[in-house]
Structure 1
Amino acid sequence: MPKTQIQTHPLDFDAWLETGTIAQRTVELHNDRSIPDQLDVLSKRREVAAAVAEAEDTEASVTEIPEVVKIDAALEALWVKWEESKETWLVRALSVDEIKLLRTRHPVEDQPPTPGKGASRGTREAHEALLKAWAERMQDTLEAIQYAQLEAAIVSITTSKGVATARGTVLDEDFRPAVTAAQLRAMHARPGRQNDVKQLLNASQDATASDVEVPAPFWQRPSSKHGQN
């Protein structure tokens, strides 16, 4: 049997790059954080009501018990509110140029030079004070960089009240973020939402730093019975 001749063509790598797309990640969050606890309380009340009815040997089914019917209606209403409070965030990978630009806008200050050997006690104490102040400024700078990068990485946020979508990229003069760094800071300051910003940051960093292994469609996967009679 003749072998199939595979023809190779010169690769235009620039053209190949132009066909690429930017990695994105989806993060689902919720704005109303009181609902899960309310759902838990109602679910426990429902269990008690059902147990009481069973102990009374009532012939009615659980879903016909008045107290259970009332609780089920409340559970359904809460579930609707929970779905309405959902936020779907779409974040993307950042380019090297975008990251460089944002770090240029928030320059990292050099560490104060260490006193030479034999420096006086007063000099060492002054240096320690300078070092402490520098560390605090560094913390503020790194935090500002994180919020700026997240602002640049958010493609859109979709809620039951509407959609906010970014226009352009941070490299564009008319860039308009979907959510500003100040708004992200305000979200982080709300009780229970500190971890949300972390999730969004992690999603953007994951999109920026890693490739994704996509499983083959089931019809292309080797069968566990392959080769068996």
Structure 2
Amino acid sequence: MSKIAFITGATSGIGKATALLLAEEGYNLIICGRRKDRLQALTAEVKVKTLELSFDVRNRKEVEEAINSIPEDWRAVDVLLNNAGNAHGLSKIQNGDVDDWDAMIDINVKGLLYVTKSLVGGMISKGAGHIVNIGSIAGKEVYPNGNVYCASKHAVDAINNGMRLDLNGTGVKVSQVCPGLVETEFSMVRFKGDADRSKSVYEGFDALTAYDVADLIRFIVTRPAHVNISDTIIFPAAQAASTIVDKK
């Protein structure tokens, strides 16, 4: 019987790339995101069974209703990838936009919690499962103007560690993947559609691709049952820390 992977933020970037790679491994997919057209396109691209759920992770009611709507034969989720997340703005704390702060905390922290809370009980009941949380190097370091985004990813780091302690003995494994610079839509969102500024982030070096990170996730979730890779940082070779990048 095929395993089931539940992926938030599956419409682009790391989420979509992971969906494609786990489909290659034979996982059936519950793909989640706000853009229905992209979910439909992903369904057409893979050769496994998919279930599309369109909801906003920031909205607890939407999360609960979407997950409660899952048919019985899709409820035995084996892998939960908490991938949905965003950065909004890059400014000093005194110049920060409160709406941006709310968006980052609601998506990166509360959304992760809402989805996990709705699914983890089923994993505990069957005595098996794997939760993979997408963190960031911003959850390990703080960089100038990153204040609230870094805080939200530090929260993910703490939640990941807390989950692993709380779920010890249940059969549910917990892992975190913390990428450095990955060329996705991330900077376009952070810089509110400024394509030139977004492009400049990745110039002068070979950034990670979404597939580089997805390949690591695939490796983590396909380890034997007795192996748990609890935390990882993945950088492009040119990067040594959040703000130290060898650009040519």
TM tier, shorter chain? under 0.3
The structure in which a higher percent of residues are strand is 2
If you compute each CA radius of gyration, which structure gives the higher value, 1 or 2? Answer: 1
The structure in which a higher percent of residues are helix is 1
TM-score normalised by structure 1 residue count: 0.21
